Chain A
């Protein structure tokens, strides 16, 4: 009988495609908007992700997210180093600097200061220059997206100079880096240089990056650091989670995306539900005939649900596929943030399931109450 249900469904091409379109539209919108939302959230933690070596980030206890810098005194580095279970710890500067270019224009930049001795926190994607050149006087490395933003259309060239806080900076390397939420160029330099490029402040240490001794869990060492120093110590993953939670709770981004997702859900449900209902009404005499011939209500119910499931699976596959295609095709062409984790696929599947269920409910009610004697009425 499920085969008959399938034949009935595909036999009405226009309605069949209409229902699939409704589900497809909803799945596409939900998956695409959710992926852009995830992409944006991913951008907020890009600088934590790019610092791959240390497992622990230590910061002021009131820091809420990566850009919420509350400088520490330099002596906090030694306090962290003195905590049992800490293998090593280094300084890390993060701040904003205003750069004056050779052409006279100004650009806001994200300034990252790496430990002078170890250069821990250095970018992994250096493709022009050498990391060791960062030890030269006034040396800085810039991310390729920032370079293109400042010098659009110009080829990559090392040796360019600009000023930050009236101090000379020389470009010695260009690297790949994850895009940031603010989309400012990222400049890497040594910690000792960074504090000179930055506006003068009494305290300048942004973070202490630390590593637990081998065999110790980072979470336990974090608790020990907090207990002994009063500072906030988080694992890399915890810090990313905290940053994302901040953006979720304190900005309107989730609400805006939720509205779009909800809209997709409602419009998809409306299109699919209405078309499916019309399809059922058009076939009501056929359903009545099947009931008259001895098809039980349970079988009829299964038939309608099977029809709904079929369009749901196809609509979901096409919608998610198109969303993925959209993300893939836009990856180099636009600055669109797009990240489709498995959770988006699951959430979209649940939404599609609900759409199909809602769409089917109307039809189910209609076919279950239909009197099999309808077939005797001309």
Chain B
């Protein structure tokens, strides 16, 4: 469904993404985790053809067999209308406050699928039901401000599903929601991907939400994927020093041990322009070798479905 090979995105000298490769088959659920500046949102935008104008992208990107490496705006628009959809963190910002949400969802159905008004309405109602919106008939007639945050996010998911996309990219879709609402939205996304055979790219800083939602996780740092694999394996047995640091720095409830100081990753995430040339994590890594700052470690297979980009973790060829 998605084939991305050595995707790099640069703003002048600053590299926001460096040689990222991905391959996703229908129905696969991938989580992109990382802190701000890790490139996770930039990768999401690259997969949507929505990079800022100043960005220069290199590498090969194909969706559903179509090579999009040099696609024009029009080709991308067509792709976004039918194959790739995206939802964002703040559902209020993404909805027109002056339009009934039913009309918003009916628009792409009429425009892209050419449905009649009554057919579009019927389809919108089905989408509302599929995304678990209570009293869907009534909700079609309501305005965004009349809905709760969770309901608005469901409306946006319904809108994203309107043209039956093969790929849904969700950028921090639960971050602005309360805990119990967020749990239901991640359940919904998981179910939709499974039932529809749709690729789900779930972008989040929240490891707990990612662990609940996806099968495969890619940990990003400084514009690169530093570790990748089945989510339970990566999070229970992290191999890359950054993944380890991230997991340890996370407060946990288990064990009943209170008021314990958290292991820290020293320093801050460097600005894009100040990223080290070799391993992006060098300078903050506790097990750094002399070559780390200069030589970029490649993302290599380390057994099973796992991969890691660290000079300490040897390649395993099976």
A binds B: no
Q: Enumerate chain A interface residues (CB-CB to B < 8 A).
A: none
